[in-house]
Amino acid sequence: MKKNVIAGNWKMHKTNREALRLVTRLMKLMEKHPPRKTEVVVCPPFTALAPVAELLKGSAIRLGAQNIFWEEEGAFTGEVAARMVRGAGARYVIIGHSERRRYFKEDESVINKKIQLALKNKLQVIHCVGETLEERRHNLTQDIIINQLEWGLKGLTGDDFKKVVIAYEPVWAIGTGKTATPEQAQEVHAFIREILNTLYGNQVGSRITIVYGGSVKPENAAGLLSQPDVNRALVGGACLDARSFFKIIQASETT
């Protein structure tokens, strides 16, 4: 069933000491005003997963990883397996982020393998989809979204979809300061629901959580999160400051 999720993708930021300081500040803010209808997830770099997990014990904040490799284990220098991040305390994992697609050439086949492996290891998946500015200018948004959903989620069962969150992240709005208007976000989110219902049946699209990502800030959060098909947000830069991230959580609680 749909739930409201605010997840913070820290990307390549924060040493362990800085990570613990940020999470401590966030926990103190949430203790004063605990969210009632929003699941909060923080996704630090791999190096900080274990110490942050220890700090979060007994907290309402969930821990996520930013990526996994597509094999269980093996001679893959520098890669991290799903069971490793699960063992470090993560319960979520981001898969298919546009930066992974762009810089590491991950295609839908690789992304599908990662999603299957994450689910096998009892990780909840945040599956990122979205179009580039050039693709939007050529009216290819829907085609891109269909391809990413059809092939990225290939082979999933009805129960699998209960453990998947879709993050619509227009690539042209990630780290650029540009943001889709609330109306643009709502239009694509509604389309995603429609396509998921068509591709996978059983009202998968109607029931799944779909969050928006792309320069979400305290200043624009309320407008975006008030849209009927936007089940909150995957936050980038604004999650690196506890107070800024908490303001977005508060916007989720009041919209």
In this predicted structure, what is the pLDDT of residue 236? 95
**Predicted confidence (pLDDT) per residue in 87-137, tens digit:** 999 999 999 999 999 999 999 999 999 999 999 999 999 999 999 989 999
Residue 138 bears catalytic tag: no
The whole-angstrom separation of Cα 157 and Cα 169 is 24
Strand 164-168 to 124-129 pairing: parallel
The whole-angstrom separation of Cα 24 and Cα 40 is 14
In this predicted structure, what is the pLDDT of residue 1? 66
In this predicted structure, what is the pLDDT of residue 179? 80
**pTM, 2 dp:** 0.97
Q: Tell me the CATH number for domain 5-229+250-254.
A: 3.20.20.70
**The dihedral sign for the CA sequence 185, 115, 3, 252:** negative
The whole-angstrom separation of Cα 22 and Cα 9 is 13
Averaged pLDDT in 10-residue chunks for the chain of 255 residues: 93 98 98 96 98 97 98 98 98 97 97 98 98 93 97 96 97 82 96 96 94 95 97 97 98 95
In this predicted structure, what is the pLDDT of residue 175? 75
Question: Locate tokens 């709005």: which residue?
Answer: 173
Q: What type of residue is 88?
A: A
Report yes or no: 145 and 195 within 8 Å, Cβ to Cβ: yes
Partners of 93 in beta bridges: 65, 125
Q: Residue 18: enclosing H or E segment and its boundaries? A: helix 16-32
Going along 155-205, which residue ranges are E strands? 164-168
Going along 130-242, which residue ranges are E strands? 164-168, 209-213, 232-235
Residue 33 bears catalytic tag: no
User: What is the domain partition of the chain in residue ranges?
Assistant: 5-229+250-254
The whole-angstrom separation of Cα 103 and Cα 90 is 24
The whole-angstrom separation of Cα 95 and Cα 198 is 23
Of the residues 39, 97, 106, 108, only one is catalytic, namely 97
Of the residues 106, 131, 169, 189, only one is catalytic, namely 169
**Predicted confidence (pLDDT) per residue in 110-124, tens digit:** 999 999 999 999 999
